[in-house]
Every structure is written in structure tokens, then in C-alpha cells.
């Protein structure tokens, strides 16, 4: 019987889970070498074939760039130029796993040494491919056996997350990793508890564990009292989930049956791989910042066009609201955002910045206008304060439409709406009556109304989106929109929290955009609300 070991890491995805552990890292999974080259060769060929089959299944469910990188791995595993050196080493008596690792690692070095960012990034794909075959060789193979377990590893690639079966619950605990990684994004979208940065997790005979995603806590081999405590927590959570689950694929309605338009907020297109468009009424906020990551080259029009197309393809005829670049504030991008601002949240961010970088703004508007021919796309402009800013954006969009028409490129002018997050707009929305729609960004609106920075822990208690001052502004905007026939939605975090929903409905909102993992929860909570 092992003593309990408590480890503290960083929260990456909320939720509680207790169950068996499943150690992922290849360092933990050692192959028992047979000593017979013929058997090693047979196992090696079988492992490669199994890895290709697994990848083929993944390609079918992965989206966009993810799918392309999986196709790249398949092509590598079908290439004799890669397999032959490994088979030669096996023929010379090396165990299959060692031969394979040596061969692929030699190839990886070539990628890692490259001076080309894109080429260097492919090293991750090669490692993923290498580990995929190694898992097969060590018998930890297909992740089917992991269903309902806590996966423990150094870090995990997104493909492995997509490969795993989460229908029986499960969780992820990583020695390294980051809350902003793609896997963390997928885990949040899918509602899988996850903790990162746990440091050394020693295998050491542990066979079960408990995890609290929100607290960033992992307990290996919990003792009897701990187990009771954790299973009570986990039971409460799963009872809640069971209660909410039936709501997932129903339309969102209030207690009186009236319909609520429930949209989702998306930060990364990869999230869509684990989401069913049938569960929501569209995308209420697609952040475009995923294309503009710090330290990477700026995306050109073509790259953006393809990314926006994929979102529209996923949504079918449902609306997809894409927010134009919203960097600055707490989201710096080198070469775009100003350096040394004394108060970045009150500085050059959102549309204030893009109007100064017309080259970047124009490329994005062109990509959006071209993509708009493939679905129901809307453009949302962040950080609007004055109507002049919306006018200037509209002129730019007109220019883009004229240029595209002149060049004979298919395009459509999407409706141009705004984020309502600057108090000046929330107080006097009539000054922006030209906007096609309003979407209230309650996170920023709250920080500006309460004068409490979102990133300041010391004033976090002041940042209450349910403060009467904030709610009054929300109601004001909702009422103005209703009178003037301008649709109003709310896409801040408060819409995903059941405790705030009654206040938002009372404020007159009937369109909400929420985090994907909270769809069932929000629908269940809405059904309890009786509108006045």
C-alpha cells in the first residue's frame, strides 16, 4: 500500500476526477526486447502499420492544419527512406524500439537545426510520430485501454488527446506543459480536468489518483479518508453533469419555452474538432488572435482566408462572428503592439491599433470578405469608442470590396458589428447606431467600469460583472438594441456562469455566447429561469 503523495501544479482545465492512473511518457514504457531480430522486425512492422492505421482514423476527425500534420506523419511512416535504416539496425541485432528511436532522432536533429521556423516546428510532428510507434512497441499502444483513467506524462501532443476515449471520463496530469497549450484548449473544450507543471511524478507503484483541475491538485494513491472526500466531490460533479447532459443537444430555452440563441466563444479552431455544431446556434465570438501569435511571422491573407473558411465549413449555415485582431492590453505581439505603454489596457489596443496598421487590417478584412462567400460570416470590431472608428473601418471594408471586385475575386461584404466593452459606448450606444450588431464584452466592460485591472489579483474582488453598475449598462444596451432593432448579445465569461444568467435574462438579453464546455450547463440553468 502506497502512501498518498500530493502534488501541486497549475490549473489548465477545471473538473474533478478520481480513477486509475495511466503513465504515458515513453520513458516509462519500456519494451521487453525479444533478442530475436526476426521477432523484433515483425513487431516493428506491426507497430508502424498500427501507427498508420491510428493516424488514418485521426485524420478523419481532425480539422485543418491538424489533419495536414497527421497526413505528413502518415507519409513519413510509409517512406522506406525512413524505415530502412531502422530495419537495418534491427537486422544487426538492435531491439526494435532502440533502432527506431535512433533512426528518427537522427532525422529530428536535421529539423531542429534548421534556420527556418516552419521547418523547426516540424520536429514536434516527428517526435509525435516516433512516440506513436514506440507506444505500439511497448504495448501501451492504442489508447483505448486508457478510457476512464488519469493520463500522466511529460507533455502530450494534441493528436494523442484526439485519439483518446473520453466518454468514460478521465483526466490529464503533466509534469511539464502549459495552460495555454493546444491540449489544454482541447481539454477545456471537452471538459476534461487537466493540471500542468506538476514537476516530477514518480511512477513508483501508484495505481490510482485523484485530480482537481481548478485547484491544480493531483493526489497519487489517496488514502481511505481522502478517497471518500474525493469520490464525494467527483460524485457531486458527475451527478451535476448527468443532470445537465440531456440538455446538450436540445435548443436553449427559458422555463417558459421561449428560445435563447446560444452561441459559443472559440479561441482556437482546433477546439471545433471536439465540438458538435448541432449543440449550439453558431459561433458568437471567434477570436482571430490565434493567427497572430507572438514570435511568429504575421499571417498573410491566404493563410487567414483558409483558417476562416474552415470555421465556416464547420458551422454550415449557422452564424460565425469573427472578431478582428484584438491585441494590445494583456495580449502583446512583437512588432505590432507598442512597447513600454504605462497602462496598456487604456492604450493602443483592438481597433485603435489596427486602424494604425492599415496593412495588417486590410489583409484581415480582405480574407474575411473572401471567406464570407462560404457561409454566414459577421465581422466584429473590438474596443470601439467613437463612431468615427467604426466609420473608418467601414470605409476600409468598402475599399477592400472594391479592390476584390476589380480583381475579379469572389467576395461578400459581411455585416459590421462592434464589441461593447468601452463604457462610453455602453452609456451612449445611440452614437453607434450604425453598427450591424452589438456584442457586450462583459470582461473588459467590468474592468473599465469598476476600474479594477483583470490581471491584478489584489483588486480581483472589485471585478464583479454582476455589480449593479455593470448590469445597468448591460440592460441599457439591450434595451436600446431592442428599440432600434439592433441585435445584442453578450460574450463575456459571465454568460458561461449559471449564477449570472437570471440577471442577464432580466436585463433583456436573449442571445448569449458561452465557452463550449459550458453549453449543457448553461442550457440546464436557462431552463430554470422564468422570465418576468
Identity of the residue, 86 or 219, whose beta carbon is nearer to another protein in the bound complex: 86
Place of cell 484526439: 162
Identity of the residue, 100 or 448, whose beta carbon is nearer to another protein in the bound complex: 100
Q: Please report the DSSP string for 465-484 in residue order.
A: TTSHHHHHHHHHHHHHHHHH
User: Binding residue for another protein (CB under 8 A) from 1, 81, 224, 461?
Assistant: 81
**Residue 3 known to be catalytic:** no
Q: Specify the long-range contacts of residues 63-71, CB closer than 8 Å, at least 24 apart.
A: 63/269, 63/270, 63/272, 63/273, 63/310, 63/314, 64/269, 64/270, 64/306, 64/307, 64/310, 65/269, 66/158, 66/159, 66/162, 66/270, 66/273, 69/125, 69/159, 70/159
HSE (side-chain half, CA atoms, 13 Å) at 316: 8
**Residue 280 known to be catalytic:** no
75 near another protein, judged by CB under 8 A: yes
CB 339 within 8 A of CB 397: no
- Using the contact rule CB under 8 A, the part of the chain among 108-116, 128-136, 263-271, 515-523 near another protein is 108-116
Q: The dihedral of CA 188, 322, 520, 215: what is its sign? A: positive
CB of 100 to another protein, least distance (A): 14
User: Binding residue for another protein (CB under 8 A) from 43, 97, 125, 244?
Assistant: 125
User: Binding residue for another protein (CB under 8 A) from 6, 88, 105, 300?
Assistant: 300
Rg for the chain, CA atoms, rounded: 25
Identity of the residue, 118 or 458, whose beta carbon is nearer to another protein in the bound complex: 118
CB of 17 to another protein, least distance (A): 35
Q: Restricting to residues 308-327, which ones interact with another protein according to CB under 8 A?
A: 309, 312-313
398 near another protein, judged by CB under 8 A: no
- Using the contact rule CB under 8 A, the part of the chain among 244-252, 259-267, 295-303, 492-500 near another protein is 295-303
Separation of alpha carbons 222 and 260, rounded Å: 43
8 near another protein, judged by CB under 8 A: no
Identity of the residue, 306 or 331, whose beta carbon is nearer to another protein in the bound complex: 306
255 near another protein, judged by CB under 8 A: no
Separation of alpha carbons 410 and 391, rounded Å: 24
- The active-site residue, picked from 3, 182, 374, 476, is 182
Give start and end residues of each alpha helix (H) in 158-213. 158-163, 182-190
> What does the binding site for another protein look like in residue numbers (CB under 8 A)?
68-69, 71-72, 75-76, 78-82, 107, 110, 114, 116, 118-119, 122, 125, 300, 302-303, 306, 309, 312-313, 374
Active site (catalytic) residues = 182, 491
Amino acid at each position: 500500500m502506497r502512501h498518498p503523495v500530493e502534488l501541486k501544479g497549475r490549473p489548465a482545465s477545471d473538473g474533478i476526477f478520481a480513477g486509475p492512473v495511466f503513465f504515458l511518457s515513453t520513458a516509462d514504457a519500456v519494451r521487453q526486447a525479444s533478442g530475436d531480430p526476426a521477432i523484433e522486425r515483425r513487431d516493428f512492422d506491426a507497430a508502424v502499420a498500427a501507427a498508420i492505421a491510428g493516424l488514418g482514423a485521426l485524420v478523419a476527425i481532425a480539422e485543418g492544419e491538424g489533419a495536414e500534420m497527421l497526413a505528413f506523419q502518415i507519409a513519413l511512416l510509409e517512406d522506406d527512406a525512413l524505415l530502412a535504416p531502422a530495419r537495418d539496425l534491427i537486422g544487426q541485432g538492435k531491439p526494435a524500439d532502440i533502432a527506431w528511436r535512433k533512426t528518427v532522432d537522427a532525422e529530428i536533429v536535421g529539423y531542429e537545426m534548421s534556420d527556418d521556423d516552419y521547418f523547426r516546428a516540424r520536429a514536434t510532428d516527428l517526435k509525435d510520430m516516433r512516440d506513436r510507434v514506440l507506444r505500439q512497441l511497448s504495448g501501451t499502444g492504442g489508447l483505448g485501454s486508457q478510457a476512464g483513467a488519469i493520463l500522466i506524462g511529460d507533455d502530450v501532443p494534441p493528436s494523442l488527446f484526439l485519439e483518446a476515449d473520453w466518454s468514460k471520463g478521465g483526466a490529464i496530469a503533466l509534469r511539464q506543459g502549459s495552460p495555454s497549450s493546444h491540449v489544454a484548449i482541447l481539454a477545456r473544450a471537452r471538459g476534461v480536468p487537466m493540471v500542468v507543471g506538476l514537476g516530477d511524478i514518480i511512477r513508483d507503484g501508484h495505481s490510482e489518483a485523484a485530480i482537481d483541475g481548478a485547484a491544480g491538485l493531483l493526489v497519487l494513491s489517496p488514502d481511505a479518508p481522502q478517497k471518500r472526500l474525493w469520490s464525494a466531490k467527483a460524485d457531486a460533479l458527475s451527478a451535476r453533469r448527468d443532470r445537465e447532459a440531456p440538455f446538450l443537444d436540445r435548443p436553449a430555452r427559458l422555463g417558459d419555452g421561449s428560445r435563447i440563441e446560444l452561441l459559443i466563444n472559440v479561441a482556437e479552431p482546433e477546439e471545433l474538432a471536439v465540438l458538435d455544431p448541432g449543440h449550439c446556434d453558431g459561433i458568437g465570438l471567434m477570436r482571430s488572435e490565434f493567427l497572430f501569435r507572438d514570435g511568429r511571422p504575421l499571417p498573410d491573407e491566404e493563410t487567414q482566408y483558409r483558417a476562416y473558411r474552415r470555421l465556416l465549413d464547420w458551422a454550415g449555415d449557422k452564424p460565425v462572428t469573427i472578431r478582428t485582431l484584438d491585441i494590445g492590453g494583456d495580449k502583446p505581439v512583437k512588432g505590432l503592439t507598442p512597447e513600454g505603454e504605462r497602462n496598456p489596457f487604456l492604450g493602443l489596443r483592438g481597433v485603435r491599433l489596427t486602424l494604425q496598421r492599415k496593412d495588417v487590417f486590410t489583409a484581415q478584412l480582405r480574407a474575411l470578405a473572401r471567406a464570407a462567400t462560404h457561409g454566414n460570416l459577421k465581422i466584429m470590431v473590438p474596443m470601439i469608442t467613437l463612431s468615427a472608428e467604426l466609420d473608418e473601418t467601414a470605409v476600409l471594408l468598402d475599399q477592400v470590396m472594391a479592390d476584390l471586385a476589380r480583381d475579379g475575386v469572389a467576395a461578400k461584404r459581411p455585416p459590421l458589428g462592434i464589441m461593447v466593452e468601452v463604457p462610453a459606448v455602453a452609456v451612449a450606444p445611440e452614437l453607434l447606431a450604425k453598427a450591424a450588431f452589438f456584442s457586450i464584452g462583459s470582461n473588459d466592460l467590468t474592468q473599465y467600469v469598476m476600474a479594477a485591472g483583470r490581471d491584478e489579483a489584489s483588486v480581483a474582488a472589485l471585478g464583479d460583472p454582476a455589480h449593479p453598475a455593470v448590469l445597468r449598462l448591460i440592460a441599457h444596451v439591450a434595451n436600446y438594441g431592442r428599440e432600434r432593432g439592433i441585435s445584442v448579445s453578450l460574450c463575456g465569461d459571465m454568460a458561461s456562469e449559471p449564477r449570472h444568467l437570471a440577471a442577464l435574462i432580466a436585463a433583456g438579453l436573449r442571445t448569449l455566447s458561452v465557452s463550449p464546455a459550458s453549453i449543457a450547463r448553461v442550457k440546464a440553468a436557462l431552463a430554470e429561469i422564468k422570465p418576468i
